[in-house]
Amino acid sequence: ASKRRGTAGKALDIDLPRKGWSIGSKLGEGAQGSVYAVVDTSSKKSKTEPQWAIKVTPKPPKTKSKANAEIRANSASLGNESNLYNAHLKPLRGVWVPQMPSDIQGIRESNNYQYIVIERMECELFDKMEEMATSKEFGNTSSISVGPLAGTLVQIVQAIHQTRQLIIDLKPENFMFAMASNKKGQLLDRLRIVDFGLMRPFQRPEPAATLQGNAMYASLHMHSLQNSSRRDDVEMTLYVIGEALIRFQAMVDGTAATMEQTEVPSYLPWSQAQSDEHLYEQKLKHVKSKTSEFYKRMPAEAAKVLYECLEEVWSYEFNSEPDYDGLRDKLATLKVAKKQRGKATATKKKTPAKAAATPSKSKRTTRRAPAKEEIVIDDSDEEEEASVEEDEPPRRTLRSGRKVQSPVPPAKAKRAASRTIATQTSEDDISPPKRSTRGTASSRKRERSEEVADMEVEEVYVDDSDENDAQVEDVEMEDLADDDDDENQTTENIKDGDVPVKMIIRSKGQRDQFCTITGDEEIIIGSNPIKKKGVTTMTVPGTEANHCMISLYIKRGRAINVKVKDLKTTGGTSVGRAGMTNYKDVKKGGQAGCMIPGEILAGSACIEFMRS
C-alpha cells in the first residue's frame, strides 16, 4: 500500500495495481478529486510508456445525507469520467485526450478511496505562451502565428463532438500539454483536453436550471440559462482563442505584467466582474461591438477575423453542426506582429516544469501565468524570414494505439474556480455524426438571432370568467419554441392604447397559448382579477376556466416566478417547470419557478399551457 497525505491531512492508504508503484507528490485538484503523481521504481519500467498519475476521490458512504452529498457527487463524476475514457473517448486517447494504461482501465477502489490512472500532463496551455512566441513552429522573426494553435483547438472540439459528446466546461485550464517524448515533434501534437466532469451527450433545446460550465468563457446562450450544444462549445473555444491573441499582444507590447497584477488576470475586459450577471452584461457589451476593448486588445486584422467567426457561430441554430473546416480556414490567418528594435535580443524565460494531472477548478478565472517580459527581436545579422501562413494545422489521425510520453501540469488550486457547476447526466450512446463538409459562404450563412430589448414593466390581465367551474385544473408549462400555430390566436377585446397579448383558450384537454410583445414584463392569467392598468381579454365560449390567477414575471433570460394570487378552492394548483418533469403543488400565496427556454421575442408564441 502507498500512503501520501491528502488534502485534509489524512494519509491516502491506496493499494496501486502495479508492483513498484507508489504515490508521489500532489499535482493538483480538479472539480472531481485530487491528482497525485505515480512513482514507478520497478526494474521493468517501460521506456515507451507515458508517465502516469492517479485521480482520487473518497469512496462515498452507504448512507445518504447532506453532509456527504459532495463526496457522492464527486464519486459519481469520477465514475462518469472513467466511463467516457473507456467508451466514447477511447479512440482519442493519447491523441486528443490523455492516455490510460492498457492493463488498468476503469475506476478502481482501494480501502476508502476510488481512483483512475491517467497520463500525466506537463503544463497548461497558457504556461507555454513564451515558448510559442519564440518558436519557429509559431511564426518567424516578424510575427507570431496564432493560426495553428487556433486550428488545433477547434480540431480538438470537433473530435469530441464526433463522439456525440459536449465539453461544456471549456476553459484554458482544461487544455494541457503532454510531456515530450524522445521523438522530435511539434508542440501542438502534444496538446490535449482534460477533465470531463461536466461532459455529457448531446442535449435537447431545453432550459438549464443554472449556468453550466465556467462563467468567464460561457457562451451567450449559456448565460441565458439554456442547455448547451455544439455551437456553444465552439463559441467558448473562440473566447479562449481571443484571450490567447490578447496575451500574445500584451507580451509584445510589454503590458502583460500590468494585466497580471490583479487577483484574476485582466486580459479579458469582463474578467473583473463581481457576479455572473455583471460578467454577462460586460461580456455581451464587449463581444457584440467591433470597437470594444475586447477587440482593441488584439491586432486589428485578427480582431476582424475573430468577430466574423463569432458572428457565424451566433447564427447557428441549437442543433446546427458547426462548419469546423470553414472556421479553421478563417482562423489560420491569425497572427501577432513582433516589434523590431535594432540589435536587441529576444528575451525568453524558461517555462517551469509543471506536474498537475488535471486543471484546477476555475471560479471565473483564467490561469495566472508569470509576468511576461517584452519580446524584442535581434534582426541585425540575419535576413527576415518570410511569413508563412498555414491554411490548416497538421491533422492527427484518430487512432487508439498511439502512446505518447506526456505528463500533466501542476494546477494552482487556489487560483482555480468554482463556477464549474451542473451535474453529469448519462444518456444512451449514439453513433458519431458525419464530418461536416465545406460549403460556400452563402451555404454557411445562417439567419442571426434577434436581440431582445430590455422590457419595461407592463401589467396585462386576462379575464377568465367561467363562474360555473369551481375546479382548479393542473397547469403544465411547456416549451413552444417550435409551435407556429398562430392562425387560431386572437386579439379580441383589445382597447386603443393597450398592450396587445395574443391568446386563445380552448376546452379541457387542449393547449392554451399566448404571445408577448416588447414591453411585456408581467402577464396575469386567471379568473376575475382585480382590474388594473392593462388589457382584459375574454376567453372564447365553452371554456373550462382555471379558477386561479397566475402571475408570470417575465425577464429575458431569467427564471419565471409563478404565483397563485386568487384561488377559488381550498386545494392547490400544480405549477410545472417548463421543459422539466418535477412539479410542485402551489397553494394560495405560494410560489414556484418556471424556466423560459431562451429569450422571449416580440410576437413569438413562447409559453404554452396544457390543461390536464
Domain containing 186 — which CATH number?
Answer: 1.10.510.10
Instruction: Tell me whether residue 496 is in a domain.
Output: yes
Instruction: Tell me whether residue 117 is in a domain.
Output: no
Residues 434 and 552 in one domain: no
Question: CA of 424: how far to CAs of 35, 51, 73, 167, 203, in Å?
Answer: 20, 28, 9, 11, 12
Residues 243 and 289 in one domain: yes
Task: Please state, in angstroms and rounded to a whole number, the distance separating the CA atoms of residues 420 and 363.
Answer: 7
3-class secondary-structure state, position 115: strand
Residues 283 and 247 in one domain: yes
What pLDDT, on the 0 to 100 scale, is given for residue 31?
Answer: 62
Tens of pLDDT, residue by residue over 474-533, are: 333 333 233 333 333 333 433 333 333 333 333 333 333 444 333 444 444 433 334 333
Task: Please state, in angstroms and rounded to a whole number, the distance separating the CA atoms of residues 160 and 241.
Answer: 18
What pLDDT, on the 0 to 100 scale, is given for residue 374?
Answer: 44
pLDDT at 40 over 70: yes
Give the cell for residue 513.
397559448
Residues 238 and 189 in one domain: yes
pLDDT at 345 over 60: no
Instruction: Tell me whether residue 284 is in a domain.
Output: yes
Domain boundary among 444, 479, 501: 444
Which stretch of DSSP H or E encloses residue 573?
strand 573-575
Instruction: Tell me whether residue 255 is in a domain.
Output: yes
Residues 425 and 482 in one domain: no
What pLDDT, on the 0 to 100 scale, is given for residue 334?
Answer: 97
Tens of pLDDT, residue by residue over 457-488, are: 233 333 333 333 333 333 333 332 333 333 33
pLDDT at 578 over 60: no
Instruction: Tell me whether residue 465 is in a domain.
Output: yes
Residues 289 and 144 in one domain: yes
Residues 478 and 333 in one domain: no
DSSP secondary structure string for all residues of 284-333: HHHHT-TTSHHHHTS-HHHHHHHHHHHHHHHT--TTPPP-HHHHHHHHTT
Residues 426 and 526 in one domain: no
Which stretch of DSSP H or E encloses residue 243?
helix 230-253
Cell 487556433: give the residue. Answer: 150
Tens of pLDDT, residue by residue over 182-230, are: 666 789 999 999 988 889 999 999 998 899 889 999 999 999 999 999 9
Task: Please state, in angstroms and rounded to a whole number, the distance separating the CA atoms of residues 435 and 155.
Answer: 11
Strands 52-58 and 113-119: antiparallel
Q: What's the domain count of the chain?
A: 2
Residues 492 and 424 in one domain: no
User: Which domain range does residue 595 map to?
Assistant: 459-611
Residues 469 and 591 in one domain: yes
How many CB atoms within 10 Å of residue 429?
A: 12
Tens of pLDDT, residue by residue over 579-599, are: 332 334 444 444 444 444 443
pLDDT at 46 over 80: no
DSSP conformation class of 136: G
Instruction: Tell me whether residue 66 is in a domain.
Output: no
What average pLDDT does range 173-179 have in this prediction?
A: 92
Residues 471 and 562 in one domain: yes
Give the cell for residue 293.
476593448
Residues 522 and 432 in one domain: no
What pLDDT, on the 0 to 100 scale, is given for residue 241?
Answer: 98
